[in-house]
Amino acid sequence: MTRQAFDRPSYALAADLERTLGDPDAPSGPFSWSETVEHEESGALPPGAVDLIRSWGFAQYLVPEAFGGGLRNLEQLVLLTRSLARRNLTVSVMFGSALLGVNPVWLWGDEEQRARVARGMLDGDLACFAVSEPDHGSDLGTNETRAVPDGDGFVLTGEKWPVGNATRGRFVTVYAAVEGIGSSLLLLDKQALKEGSWDNHPFVRTVGLRGHDLSGLTFRGTRVPAGALVGRPGTGLAGILQVLQITRTAIGALSIGTMDSVLRIALRHAQERVLYGQEIYRIPVIRRHLVRSYLDLLIAECTAMPVARSLSVAPSRLSLWSSVVKYLVPTLGEEVTQEAARVLGARSYLREGVASGAFQKLQRDHAIASIFEGTTHVNLHSIASQLPAVARVADRPAPGGDAVLRQLFDWSEEAPVWQPSGRALRLTNASEDEITRGWEPAVAQARMIAERELPAPVAGALLKVLGELSARRTAFYLPIAAGSLDAATAEGQDRATEHCVHHAAASCLYTWLYSFEQERASAGGTGWLVLVLQRLLGRLETTAELDESLFPWLEELMLSSLDGPEYFSLQAVKAAAGVAEG
């Protein structure tokens, strides 16, 4: 089994960033494990790390092409963020917070706002999104920050905390209740604010992401020009919910990057560590931990990448799909990290030794992924509230669905260039869910391929797991379609969790159908699909087991990435891995 090699600019760009960042296992360098862990001890970033990223030009990929930057689409940014996150999540979050801060400007800003922010970002300035308040957290309906009209502008009073990049950021998008208008978004430029009318809070001491600017802002009668309003007045809450759809999707890259690193560290240790006269990889339970982790990484990739592409292809679906990614991918990341910790044993707890002690940093840093941009419960609530509409049409293919699915899952083609428009995003996707609704036609197509092209053992295994998932799926959606579902209940959360599994299973199947047409006739080219579907079925039925006869093909792919130039991925993206690149 081999990866699909896609000749696309975004993959070449990610490979170039990989080469620039270098091998994390190198003895020194701003993105080496050794320096990262050393400076982590004092809550600092390695000297030169941010400068290297900026000199490479990472900031241009936070500014859309339409406004003079290099950002073509969200898939491109996800690939770049994955490369950065597999080395240092803290630096990744710094740029992610900046993206969150400026996305409202890209979506709804006027020409002057977009031009000014684009110039600043391209010159190396950062931004932040000042929404949360100390007493209200994710309760966005309660907003005590006030903006009162005064002459040709507003007077802003209130406190925002915690906010990523609040101190280092130049641009601040503030969520405020504007008198006579309603809750709105305001764009502030610190360079234009009167000195003494606002101040920053001290950095918050955190368990992970040490060195990240997580602080806050207090406004004390801060004068803000009338031109600070972003988008239509009074639509601030809707704007927040829409802009979060983009960053929730991008967070998947943080988790996949972390999964790549912890699996790499654990797998290398399993091959080098000898106990009982053999490398511990040969111990069945250790092998099982590692294979499961690799399958979960592939599931995460197949789930996150098409949703990233949907910002350019079908942005109205992001209200549901982004929450699926935000729940499922960080959850898989947490589980992969736990599996890797079991392989490392006591060494997972050390701040030195294996990979210079980087594992404990990765574990602590990744814990934020399921918290920010809406906690796990918030995202499951969003999914559950949309499930009844989806369930009612789950057995009916969406009109034009095949064309949408091909654009989402055919990785050989670049995603369309993103044309930022707030009007393209919605608060609910109603029944527009080609991923859920395309399952039955995809299964029928897979059945034909299995009967005509696949070796009998692999064909049998594929048809069996597809049949089991189909039966489970029908039993799941029918009662939701026939009744009602309270998203605030524990049942609502449980239903949303299962929907994410069905969404992921469909995503893996579509990836195989649309991106692996040349390889799927081989046992290895389909074996990975059988195993990821069995792994997903195991999240619904504890008795489901993996077909270990298919492990050799999967392990060949996994082990070739350990010391080779590719990611742990179905895609052939070159990685800096301490060996000569082919």
Q: Which sign, positive or negative, has the C-alpha torsion 76, 78, 81, 87?
A: negative
| Whole-structure pTM value | 0.96
Of 334, 362, 335, residue with least CA distance to 348? 362
Q: Report pLDDT digits (tens) over 299-355.
A: 999 999 999 999 999 999 999 999 999 999 999 999 999 999 999 999 999 999 999
Q: Is the pLDDT of residue 433 over 70?
A: yes
Q: What is the CATH number of domain 127-230?
A: 2.40.110.10
Residues of the chain within CATH 1.20.140.10 domain(s) are 239-562
Residues of the chain within CATH 2.40.110.10 domain(s) are 127-230
Helix axes 89-108, 74-85, angle to 10 degrees: 160
Q: Report pLDDT digits (tens) over 197-233.
A: 999 999 999 999 999 999 999 999 999 999 999 999 9
Q: Where is pLDDT greater, at 516 or 109?
A: 109
Q: How many CA atoms lie within 13 A of 138 on its CB side?
A: 12
- Helix intervals (H) in 273-317: 284-313
- Give the CA distances from residue 357 to residues 38, 43, 47, in Å, rounded to whole numbers and listed in that order: 9, 15, 19
3-state DSSP helix/strand/coil percent for the chain, to nearest 5?
60, 10, 30
CB count, 10 Å around CB of 380? 24
Q: Does domain 9-122 have CATH number 1.10.540.10?
A: yes
Q: Rounded to an integer, what distance in angstroms lies between the CA atom of residue 339 and that of residue 343?
A: 7
Percent of the chain predicted with pLDDT > 90:
89
Q: Does residue 416 have a cis bond before it (omega within 30 degrees)?
A: no
What is the average pLDDT value for the chain, to the nearest integer?
94
Q: Is the pLDDT of residue 82 over 60?
A: yes
Q: Is the pLDDT of residue 27 over 90?
A: yes
Q: Is the pLDDT of residue 468 over 60?
A: yes
User: Domain 239-562: which CATH class?
Assistant: mainly alpha
> Tokens 């699926």 belong to which residue?
324
Residues of the chain within CATH 1.10.540.10 domain(s) are 9-122
